[in-house]
Amino acid sequence: MLILSRRPGDAILIDGGIRIVVLASGQRCVRLGIEAPAEVGIVREEVLARGEGRPTAAPASDPAPGNPSPVKPVNGKPTPEGR
| Cα–Cα distance measured from residue 8 to residue 32, given in angstroms and rounded to the nearest whole number | 9
Helix (H), strand (E), coil (C) string for the chain: CCCCCCCCCCEEEECCCEEEEEEEECCCCEEEEEECCCCCEECCHHHHHCCCCCCEECCCCCCCCCCCCCCCCECCECCCCCC
- Residue 77's pLDDT is 45
Confidence of residue 11 (pLDDT cuts 50, 70, 90): very high
- Residues 20-79 have pLDDT tens digits of 999 999 999 999 999 999 898 888 888 888 887 665 554 444 444 444 444 444 444 444
| Cα–Cα distance measured from residue 1 to residue 53, given in angstroms and rounded to the nearest whole number | 25
13 pLDDT more than 90: yes
3 pLDDT more than 80: yes
Which among 44, 33, 36 is positioned nearest to 9, based on CA atoms? Answer: 33
| Cα–Cα distance measured from residue 22 to residue 30, given in angstroms and rounded to the nearest whole number | 7
